Amino acid sequence: MIGKIALEGLEFHAFHGVYPHERESGNFFRVDIIVETDFTTAAIHDDLSGTVNYETLFQIVKEEMEQPSKLLETVAEKIILHVLEELPAVLSVDLKISKLNPPIGGKCTRSSVSIKKER
């Protein structure tokens, strides 16, 4: 049974951005991540080892969000590659990273980058 596991609305204060002030003072970011996996074994046996532990998934996102990058595209790619490397049961990753109140010279709630990658 192929299913999806999602962590939605993860919030981080991080130091991503092209401009020096973004990399110095940081900004707030929201991350949504969905992974596809086969959790037949977990469902039948009520056993965490048969699925993706979302605590591990959170730790991967957190680790990568702590590494400053200029572009959200770079951060997203690093998160996805880390997930696919660390969690072999993951069949695909769908990720969205949003920068809240981006410095664009006008009112904007968030800017976002979305990437989906299959194994």
Catalytic residue list: 99
Q: What's the Cα-to-Cα distance from 60 to each of 10, 47, 68, rounded to whole Å?
A: 12, 21, 15
Chain-centroid distance, C-alpha 54: 12
Burial class from Cβ neighbours inside 10 Å (0-12, 13-18, 19+) for residue 107 reads exposed
Contact criterion met (CB below 8 Å) for 59 and 116 = no
Spatial separation of the C-alpha atoms in residues 17 and 40, rounded to whole Å: 41
